Copies of this chain bind each other. A is one copy, B any other.
Amino acid sequence: MDLGRVQRAAVNLFATKGFAATGIRELGAEAGINSATLYHYVGSKESLLALIIRSCLTELTDAGTRAMRCSADPVVQLAGLVSSHVGITAVNQLTARVAEYEMRALTEVNRAELQAMRDEYEMLFGQVLERGHRVGSFEIEDTTMCRLAILEMCTGVAHWYRPGGRLGLEEVQRYFVGAACRLIGVDRSELDGADYLQEVRRLDSEPAAHSADVWGTGTLAY
């Protein structure tokens, strides 16, 4: 009846223990249904994972594409990409973590499809960096490494962000937009007046309340 509930249970467990270490019975228990019933909603454990990752990548790509259309200025575009990426990652943090860590658990067909989606998404960053570099807006040595650095930095938000923590969502987004500007050698004031912030949606797969032990990390984080 509620596929969302199953997804959220799965994300909770996959993010905490990992896909391979999560049993199907455990999944059922977390979702409040019998493990056999789970197969009514989902063809297999893997296809459940694929569903989760796919919806996450779709959201990222859609929002990224919208960000690209918002402006013709590479600086604003990058700001849009970064804030969108950070926003989605922070709000759907466990889902994002699963999408990052568990790609390898997929078998050939699913992996090929979803890796292609991720590549397509990351290319958005590559394109903006290339263009900003070409037209002289950015001061970059190596666009490839710059793309990787920005993406890893932003994706990392999924590793430490906690809703209700010291900083609010928009503050974090703004911080990373600023960081990205520094990495591309652009003064942040260039963005003054630009409206690059999109609304961020919580995915169906994102658990509402995080159980405490989801945070394996120590006392240092954030």
The stretch of A55-63, A197-205, A211-219 in contact with B is A211-219
Given A16-B104, A17-B104, A20-B20, verify A172-B152 contact (CB < 8 Å): no
Chain A 119-139 residues near chain B, CB threshold 8 A: 119, 122-123, 126
With known contacts A156-B153, A222-B148, A141–B20 Cβ distance under 8 A: no
Q: Which chain B residues border A101 with CB–CB below 8 Å?
A: 101
Interface stretch, picked from A1-9, A29-37, A71-79, A174-182, is: A174-182
Q: Which of A134-155 contact B (CB under 8 A)?
A: 141-142, 144-146, 148-153, 155
Note all chain B residues with C-beta closer than 8 A to A111. 216
- A45 interfacial by beta-carbon distance below 8 Å: no
Looking at chain A's contact residues, the main secondary structure is helix
Known A-B contacts A141-B175, A145-B172; the reply to A218 vs B119 at CB < 8 A is yes
C-alpha gap A122/B219 in the complex (Å): 11
A218 with B156: CB separation less than 8 A = no
